[in-house]
Amino acid sequence: MRASEQIPGQVNPAWPARLHVVTGKGGTGKTTVAAALALGLAAGGRRTLLVEVEGRQGIAELFGLGPLPYEERRVAGTPDGGEVRALAVDAELALLEYLDMFYKLGAAGRALRKFGAIDFATTIAPGLRDVLLTGKVKEATTRTVDRRRVYHAVVLDAPPTGRIGRFLNVTAETARLAKVGPIKTQSENVATLLRSPMTAVHVVTLLEEMPVQETVDAIADLDALGIPIGKVIVNATRPPLLTGTKVNQAELRRGLAAAGLATDRATVSGLYAEAKAYLTRHELEESLRVELAELGEPMVELPLLPGGVDRAALDTLAAELLGTQ
Amino acid sequence: MDRILADPGVRIVVCCGSGGVGKTTTAAALALRAAERHGRRTVVLTIDPARRLAQSLGLTELDNTPRQVKGIEADESGGELHAMMLDMKRTFDEVVLAHTDPTRAAEIFANPFYQAMSSTFSGTQEYMAMEKLGQLHARGEWDLIVVDTPPSRSALDFLDAPARLSRFLDGRMLRLLLAPARAGGRSMFSLVTASFGMFSRVVQKVLGAQLLTDLSGFVAALDSMFGGFRQRAEQTYRILQARETAFLLVAAPEPDAVREAAYFAGRLGEERMPLAGLVLNRVHRTTAEGLSAERSRAAAEELERSGGFGAAADALRVHAALAEQATRERRVAAVFTDAYPAVPTVEVAAQPADVHDVDGLRTVGDALSQP
């Protein structure tokens, strides 16, 4: 089924979650993939929310905007009336918002902030910080107005694979510190959402050893925590360039001559060395692809976009992700 | 690079840059070269090495002490290579033990706040990497210490986190928590203490009273160590500013990594920390410079149309893709070199397969030392 043919309000069958958590080793392009997914899921006149939690302002950078404040604001639209909003969650402000909701702090809250108390609280208990961040994400995911969901889907540009288990395992972190009270309740609610079919964690990787290893490790971690895995997204893949015939220098020289190119030693041996290096790289990539497939999770491959990431590139990736290209 | 590695005045090399650019490999390759070629007694402090690279250095477990790497070719030069992986929690424990008596230390270790803080990533890893660097340096038994920096969300965290953490540990928040009564008597603090009293009430409500008890317990137990924490962080900071330190920025020719390196270069300048150069990893270049990408691709298409020479057409397509990538990477790298023309740059060619043995490190070391 094409995304545009779906009934409004229903989830996309290929991406059935409401909360899409996108992780991956640093440098694999998880922010780009998260943005493309948010765009893709907004197709068909829907509204999605793209969230970042690490204060990197990666979303703003990607869409060529100034730093995003702690507020949900439109960053992109789709031709069919869809809309992506973005939110950079700030742990301090999330805590104030949270305290205000429960305790009506007002000016006193601002004084606390000026005084560094909030920074203090979130520094001394990083687990608390994560509960606040994921709590805000949960709130946006489940928010309704007039009994209708405000967001068709929420896409979280999450911390990298090395930290994702700890970040999502909020109850374990807070259980150590807060044994009673609203924070405990909040972390339990977040944990329930994260372990439900409403959530899917997607792991972005490249066909390189370290990112693949971290993908394998992260999936094992998340499995052990009972957090549902969505897809393995293989980013920046290249179409194979070799048709399979093995090249040798003599044949290469004849080919160059036939094409009217120079056949000096340097050119021939240079091209030969390049082809051999390519083959080595390609074989390694193939074995890594097999390793990923053996995980048994659904896989999506995205092409390398050599021109860098602009809006057109994001649209291309979105179409690839949703299978609507 | 050999000039830096051979210079007896350089005692510390810090490799920094964003995640996934090959920092650890660069650090290990430099340390190996310093030991083999320049006869230096070298230790490499790694933070989170790839498993196979760690194994090739003989690092099978994270035990927080330098272990000599066997099987390197340093007989002639007389150098030694030692390697260690940072154990964040253990390093923190050692700091606590060094600054307080065993009873206090036991109290601190048992406190849930200490457990949370010493094992989570929020700045602690950076602080502990600095701390370990300070320890290794203070022992004076190394000719050269090569440091790999933590996989932070940003390379700048390595500089900022320790200061943040020590400021925090030494901060008035903690002092107030320790002695709310003492602070309450001063009128100039009345507004602050009023909100602080409310803060603790709110914390009690939100988190429960037990948490606050644990917190003040933690704070009270750490009280004796505050000065020590800050002093140590400042000491290490000064070492980083000294002439005996060389910072190496590590980047890959990708827009994000290069932008990060440029930010970092700016910061090092502001902090008056010595930037020795930029290592550009995973650079693609062609070995047949004379043949352009367009020409090569057109020839491949022509060969395909006329039939035969399939393998030659493949090779031409590989060359075209490589030549285009090389051009793109040069453009990306220019963002840095245009902004910092005075910073020497060394390029390391992309290896067809990942590096995970001593031979591979040696090859990288050779590439790093190309003039």
In a domain, A261, yes or no: no
Confidence of residue B13 (pLDDT cuts 50, 70, 90): very high
Rg (CA), chain B: 25
Q: How many CB pairs below 8 A link A and B?
A: 230
pLDDT tens sequence across A276-317: 999 989 999 999 999 999 999 999 999 998 777 899 999 999
What is the full DSSP assignment across B260-276?
Answer: HHHHHHHHHHHTT--EE
Q: Total domain count for chain A?
A: 1
Whole-angstrom distance, CA of residue A229 vs CA of residue A297 = 8
The yes/no answer to whether this complex scores an ipTM above 0.90 is: no
Measured between alpha carbons, how far is residue B170 from residues A325, B165, B280 in Å?
57, 8, 39
Whole-angstrom distance, CA of residue A222 vs CA of residue A242 = 37
Alpha helices for chain B (secondary structure H): 2-6, 23-38, 51-56, 88-99, 102-110, 112-119, 124-139, 157-169, 172-178, 180-184, 190-207, 209-222, 226-241, 255-270, 293-306, 310-339, 358-368
Q: What is the CATH number of the domain that holds A153?
A: 3.40.50.300
If we measure between CA atoms, which residue out of B15, B4, B2, B10 comes closest to residue B264?
A: B15
Least confident of A207-216, B116-125, B141-150: B116-125
- Do the chains contact at A27 and B21, CB–CB below 8 Å? yes
Kindly state the DSSP code that residue A15 receives in the 8-state scheme: B
* Per-residue confidence (pLDDT) for residue B191, from 0 to 100: 45
- 3-state helix, strand, coil split of chain A in percent (to 5) is 50, 15, 35
| Region class of B58: left (phi > 0), else alpha (psi between -120 and 50), else beta | left
Task: Give ∠ CA A193-A195-A196 in degrees, rounded to 5.
Answer: 65
Whole-angstrom distance, CA of residue A304 vs CA of residue A325 = 15
- Residues B166-172: what's their mean pLDDT? 60
Domain segments of chain B: what residues? 2-106+123-170+241-284+350-368, 293-328
Kindly state the DSSP code that residue B68 receives in the 8-state scheme: E
Nearest CA in chain A to B204: A181
pLDDT tens sequence across B312-326: 999 999 999 999 999
Q: Residue B82 above 70 pLDDT?
A: yes
Q: Residue B281 above 50 pLDDT?
A: yes
- Do the chains contact at B211 and A173, CB–CB below 8 Å? no
Whole-angstrom distance, CA of residue B331 vs CA of residue B348 = 16
pLDDT tens sequence across A144-154: 999 999 999 99
- Do the chains contact at A183 and B206, CB–CB below 8 Å? yes
**Best of A132, A261, A272, A279 to mutate (most B CBs within 10 Å, chain B):** A261
Distance from CA of A7 to the nearest CA of B (A): 39
Whole-angstrom distance, CA of residue B196 vs CA of residue B192 = 6
What is the full DSSP assignment across A248-290?
Answer: -HHHHHHHHHHTT----HHHHHHHHHHHHHHHHHHHHHHHHHH
In a domain, A224, yes or no: yes
**B 51-70: CB under 8 A from A:** 51-52
Whole-angstrom distance, CA of residue B316 vs CA of residue B311 = 9
Q: Which domain holds residue A166?
A: 3-238+296-322
* Long-range CB contact pairs, A62-67, < 8 A, 24+: A62/A31, A62/A32, A62/A35, A62/A309, A62/A314, A63/A35, A63/A311
Q: What is the enclosing helix (H) or strand (E) of B148? A: strand B144-148
pLDDT tens sequence across A157-184: 999 898 898 889 877 767 666 666 677 7
- Do the chains contact at B116 and A127, CB–CB below 8 Å? yes
**A 20-79: CB under 8 A from B:** 25-28, 54-56
* Per-residue confidence (pLDDT) for residue B198, from 0 to 100: 62
**Best of B48, B195, B285 to mutate (most A CBs within 10 Å, chain A):** B195
Beta strand A73-77 with A83-88 is: antiparallel
Q: Is A153 exposed, middle or buried (0-12, 13-18, 19+ CB in 10 A)?
A: buried
Contacts of residue A20, Cβ cutoff 8 Å, sequence gap at least 6: A34, A37, A41, A153, A154, A155, A156, A200, A202, A230
Confidence of residue B187 (pLDDT cuts 50, 70, 90): very low
**Best of B199, B258, B327, B355 to mutate (most A CBs within 10 Å, chain A):** B199
- Residues B118-143: what's their mean pLDDT? 81
pLDDT tens sequence across A195-236: 999 999 999 999 998 899 999 999 999 999 999 999 999 999
Whole-angstrom distance, CA of residue A110 vs CA of residue B202 = 14
CATH topology of domain B2-106+123-170+241-284+350-368: Rossmann fold (3.40.50)
- Do the chains contact at B116 and A308, CB–CB below 8 Å? no
Contacts of B299 in chain A (CB under 8 A): 256, 259-261
Nearest CA in chain B to A247: B311
Q: Are A25 and A205 in contact (CB under 8 A)?
A: yes
Higher pLDDT, A246 or A221: A221
* Per-residue confidence (pLDDT) for residue A308, from 0 to 100: 77
Distance from CA of B48 to the nearest CA of A (A): 10
Distance from CA of B10 to the nearest CA of A (A): 31
* Per-residue confidence (pLDDT) for residue B190, from 0 to 100: 42
